[in-house]
Structure 1
Amino acid sequence: MAETPLQMTERLYGKLQRRRPNAEKWSRAYEGDRPLLFVSPEFSTQTGGLFDEFSDNWCAVVPDATVERLMPLGFRLEDGSIDKDAGKAWRRSECDVEIGLALLEALITGRSYALVWNNSSGVEITFQHASGAIVEYVPGRRRLRKAGLMTWKDHDTEFATLFTPTMVYRWQRPTREGGRWTGRTAGLSRGEPSHIPNPLGVVPLVELPNRSRLHGKPRSEIATVLPLQDAVNTLWAHLMTASDGLALPARAVLGMDRPVREILDPETGEVVGEEDLPLDKFRSDRLLWLEKQGAQIAEFSAANLDNYLRVIAVAVEHIAAQTRTPPSYLAGKLVNVSPDGFAASEAGLIAKVSEMHRHFGSALREVMRLEALAQGEARRAESLALGSVVWRDPQFRSDAQYSDALVKLKSIGVPDEALWERIPGVTPDEIERWKTMRTDAAGAILGGNVAELFGPKPGSSEDDDQADDDASEEPFVGAA
């Protein structure tokens, strides 16, 4: 029996609900919101909630170091030319800003989503969080989307939109317990039905997965960091606890009774007992009288906190190795590192980001293909599907290094346009402007403006007039 649209909506919504706790877990870890783990019950009892707000957060450093090198600059068609229309649509939807947020969420939670839709103001591209969207694929077809669901809440009403290749089903329900999905009523006053045909003919919701496998779910970049992150937090808690009580040498009085004071009866004034004196006063005043013969002071050495720091340093090194994050991001310092050594330290991150260019690039090509379809340009959509994404160079170099590399490439005949594309942050629009400026400069030389650039041509009338003026001038007579 075929599944109804409402049944599909409820099934995908249930699947999305099961995913949400995991997405929230990674999001909280990125924010540094982690409980203190790997500690004994006795330690927890002793410290209480002292370290609840503390986190030496490496879970943010790893995805941040990656996403800052994931910057798409433009889209190429099948013939290798830049698609200017795609670039305009990209900026019109402010994707040049939003894509950084979408890719960061994909690195944190394992996936994010892009929606392409043609509304009253034109084609719009928006990005969705993993907790509010889900895509289902045709069994056995990892890239062919069967359906997509988007959900959101507004006050006491929850909304859902189910996308299929043929129809778009729009639902709503009250957020109270047991509320059932019904057709959306928000647009009925404007004559809009609850469910409408899908003009694109494909599911317009595209998944941006991170590190997908042939058999397995997309993976968060924080997955390998989190166990070591918890261990580092625990080590810091132990270190700070030790520094509070054991960082200074401890002194003890040997061979002397504990200081006491007498307890007097308030009515008779007679001694009825004694009690120990609190030692806080002695500690604060740093004074003590030894009145018993044979009493002496003993000193115990302070705890060596370097052991904690060495273990923490090793844990951070493991984070760097497992996530291919350069030590410069984690250690925070560089001392006498040569350019070649620095480049070698970033080789792992560059390789990882270059691999992500392929996977995220495939999803972004599909997004722009849908944008072209929404514009009614099927031929451009097909060309975009076979094209590529122009990414910023993921390797950071100094201006001198870039200049030296470009000069060497120029010497072997690499065209100017190809060299310009290698300059970090240069967009296809800027390259087009440079080409126009170069053409205008060449036209000024070849278009009859030689006189303005190099002076009058020999034998011209302007040259003759200048010669007459020179002859009329009185010759210079030097000193005798």
Structure 2
Amino acid sequence: MADSSPLKLAKELLAILDRDEARLQRIDNFIRGKHDDPYMPPQADDEYKLLAKRAVSNWMPLLIGTPAQALYVDGFRPGQPSEGLPKASSSTSSAWKHWQRSRLDARQAAVYRGALGFGHSFVLTEKTKKGVISKGLSAKKTAALYEDPANDDEPYAALTVTAWPKGEAPGKARMFDARYEYAVTFKSLSDLDSVRVAKGKLHGSTECPVTRFAAQVDLEGRTVGVVEPMIPLQNRINQTIFDLLVAQTYTSHEVRYATGMAPPLLMEWVDENGNVTTDPELAVDSRPKLGPDGNPMPAPINHNARRFLFAEDPDVKFGSLPAGPITPLIESVDMSIRHLAAISQTPPHHLLGQIANLSAEALLAAETALSRKITEFQSLFGESWERVFRIAAEMEGDTEGFDDYSGEVQWRDMESRSLAQAADALGKLKEQLGIPARGLWKRVPGVTQTEYEDWEELAEEEDSVAQLATALTRATPSADQAPAPPGSEVVAA
């Protein structure tokens, strides 16, 4: 950071996008099904090329979607002040209003899918006319600079492209540092001399408002998603399926043959002048039709199961060649898919569709690796969301919320179990371990932040009514405690 001028930062960030463009585009191609072609002979015809296109079996969206569909934030619980007393529910409501205003219930999935696919994605928090909102940014259009990319959550500068160069129109981008936002223009990612940076304006935070969501970060600061390590396996599967299609097309059927018999020739009509004609009335003779090589062309034979082959020459022999086996190729495809499942920590039955005769214990064991991977993603993405909530709180003027490093996001419980099973388990936790019932509300399957806050309000109303009824009961004497009427005497036994 010897030279941290806005122009220098903009050039460095655009250079990062230029450096990573080819790698990220290759990952994007594999996600969209644009894979490397399988090996084909140099003189491959159109039929081979068609089989190569049909051999693409894209597993990448499934590798991304399986963990992404288990990642849903349902609430945010702020930390506690130094006195140890819980915060008021208004803090939670304020943070959750920002979430709902940003429509992140639906848009959070795109952030996770981008991070799982490319290795990282970003979220920008900014002030708008509707209030403070957060939105996802693609890794293909966004870059960030860190002093320590392996350990820092806060970048000291970030840039996102809003419009790519088109013709004479320059590209446009937005750059952020710890205080200001800058408008950047450029002619191309590689032409750094064309970069121009406008005067900055305050964005409302004391930190860069761009937050990175990384699926995996090593100590070198490199991010890796679930797609890039699987590209060699995906190519292997495509090659095996291509070989299967070739074998299925050319060798999986019996080939019938006839020996000692010349095939019938394709004939054409000629007129009295020897010219080819299509009018039968003008035809006076016929002759074999010659091909481009000058040789007679054989007539096509229309043969099917209802037609009978015969020959007048007794030396003609008919026979058939057996079909080639394709079972080894099918087994090879299954083996490659199992390798893909093992390396990507995806349950095999998610990829192979084989779920028959599996007990509950076997299914649980098969899902263990996936559950651990999802837990890791929740830890990584949860820290990023907590920074987003802190930045949003500062932009809204909530200094206490900005200094809250103890807040936690609440992830939806995606385990497959019925509500009755969950209720039974939660009831045992309350009765046998003495956990307060309110502390278990968050663990009810499917409960949202809004429902949780509604329950708290209803519980407070019920507590108020119960306290009022208790106070009235204590203030009202019962019949056996009523005072004796005036003039009455008490007779001792």
> Structure 2 length normalisation: TM-score?
0.80
> 1:166 maps to which residue?
179
Tell me: CA distance 1:261–1:374, structure 2 relative to 1, closer, same or farther (3 Å). closer
Deviation of 1:69 (Å):
0.7
Describe how 1:173-322 pairs up with structure 2 within 5 A.
173=186, 180-184=194-198, 194-260=199-265, 267=272, 275-282=296-303, 286-322=307-343
Q: Secondary structure at the match of 2:228?
A: coil
SS at match of 2:140: coil
**Secondary structure of 1:36 counterpart:** coil
Deviation of 1:276 (Å): 4.9
- 1:464 corresponding residue in structure 2: none
SS of 1:150's equivalent in the other structure is strand
Q: CA 1:262–1:55 in 2, change beyond 3 Å: closer, same or farther? A: closer
Residue 241 of structure 2 aligns to a residue whose secondary structure is helix
Equivalent position of 2:158 in the other structure: 148
CA distance in 2, matches of 1:201, 1:315: 50
Residue 336 of structure 1, CA deviation = 2.6
From the superposition, tell whether residues 308 and 42 of structure 1 become closer, same or farther in structure 2 (CA, over 3 Å). farther
Amino acid at match of 1:55: V
1:367 Cα shift?
1.1
> Are the counterparts in 2 of residues 134 and 150 from structure 1 also a CA contact under 8 Å?
yes
Moved more, 285-294 or 332-341: 285-294
Deviation of 1:68 (Å): 0.7
| Partner residue, 2:346 | 325
Query: 1:439 deviation in Å?
Result: 4.2
| Distance in 2, Cα, partners of 1:256 & 1:95 | 75
Shift of residue 319 of structure 1? Answer: 1.2
Q: SS of 1:52's equivalent?
A: helix
SS of the residue aligned with 2:143? strand
- Asked if 2 retains the 8 angstrom alpha-carbon contact of 1:350 and 1:394, the reply is no
Aligned to 2:381: 360
Cα pair 1:417 1:431 within 8 Å, conserved: no
Query: Residue deviations 1:44-68, cap 9 Å, x none?
Result: 6651344336532111101100101
- Residue 13 of structure 1 aligns to a residue in which SS? helix
Q: Is the 8 A contact 1:114 1:128 kept in 2?
A: yes
Q: Secondary structure at the match of 2:439?
A: helix
> Residue 341 in 1 paired to residue 362 in 2?
yes
Please state whether the residue corresponding to 2:57 is helix, strand or coil: coil
Inter-partner Cα distance in structure 1 for 2:162 and 2:463: 56
Amino acid at match of 2:106: V
1:36-51 alignment, distance < 5 Å: 36-43=37-44, 47-51=48-52
Match of 1:351 in 2: 372
The residue type equivalent to 2:194 in the other structure is R
Aligned length: 445
Check if 1:111 corresponds to 2:131: no
Where does residue 188 of structure 1 map in the other structure?
Answer: none
CA contact (8 A) 2:148 2:221 kept: no
Change (3 A) 1:417 1:39: farther
Q: Deviations over 1:315-353 (max 9, x none)?
A: 111111111112232122421322222111111111001
Deviation at 1:422, TM superposition (A): 1.7
Letter in 1 for 2:155: R
Q: Distance in 2 between matches of 1:11 and 1:337?
A: 54
Equivalent-residue separation in structure 1 for 2:301 and 2:221 (angstroms)? 60
**Equivalent residue runs for 1:92-103 within 5 Å:** 92-103=101-112
3-state SS, counterpart of residue 106 of structure 1: helix
Match of 1:211, SS state, is coil
2:474 is matched with: none
Q: Quick one: distance in 1 between partners of 2:370 and 2:262?
A: 65
Pick closer, same or farther for the CA change 1:40–1:142 going to 2, 3 Å. Answer: farther
Number of the residue aligned with 1:407:
427
Distance 2:468 2:226 in 1: 58
Structure 1 contact 114–126 (Cα < 8 Å) conserved: yes
TM-score (normalised: structure 1)? 0.82
Q: Note the C-alpha offset of 1:256.
A: 3.4
**Aligned partners of 2:211, 2:326: CA distance in 1, in Å?**
51
Q: Give the letter aligned to residue 105 of structure 1.
A: G
Deviates more, 1:60-69 or 1:255-264: 255-264
Three-state SS of the structure 2 residue aligned to 1:429 is helix
Aligned to 1:472: none
Equivalent position amino acid for 1:428 in 2: Q
SS class of match (2:151) = coil
SS at match of 1:224: helix
Paired AA for residue 299 in structure 2:
P
The root-mean-square deviation of aligned C-alpha atoms, in Å, is 3.3
Tell me, what secondary structure is at the counterpart of 2:53? coil
SS in 2 for 1:302: coil
Choose which of 385, 391, 411 in structure 1 pairs with 2:411. Answer: 391
SS in 1 for 2:403: helix
Is contact 2:178–2:207 with CA below 8 Å preserved after alignment?
yes
SS of the aligned residue for 2:160 comes to strand
* Structure 1 position 175, deviation (Å): 6.9
Once the two structures are TM-superposed, the CA of residue 6 in structure 1 deviates from its matched residue by 1.3
Shift of 1:408: 2.8
In structure 2, the partner of 1:15 is 16
Query: Equivalent residue of 1:130, what SS?
Result: coil
Query: Helix, strand or coil: the match of 1:41?
Result: coil
* 4+ residue runs over 6 A deviation: 175-179, 261-265, 268-274, 457-460
Q: Distance in 2 between matches of 1:140 and 1:174?
A: 28
Q: Deviations over 1:99-137 (max 9, x none)?
A: 111111111111111111223432121111011111100
Q: Structure 1 residues 264, 61: CA separation in 2 closer, same or farther (over 3 Å shift)? A: closer
Conserved in 2, the CA contact under 8 Å of 1:354 and 1:394? no
Q: Return the alpha-carbon distance in structure 1 between the equivalents of residues 380 and 55 of structure 2.
A: 36
The alpha-carbon distance between structure 1 residues 61 and 284, as it changes in their structure 2 partners (threshold 3 A), is same
Cα pair 1:353 1:394 within 8 Å, conserved: no
User: Cα–Cα, structure 1 residues 31 and 398, in superposed 2: closer, same or farther, change >3 Å?
Assistant: farther
Unaligned runs of 5+ in 1: 185-193, 450-456, 461-480
Tell me how far 1:445 sits from its aligned partner: 5.5
- Conservation of the 8 A alpha-carbon contact between 2:149 and 2:220: no
> What is the Cα deviation at residue 429 of structure 1?
2.4
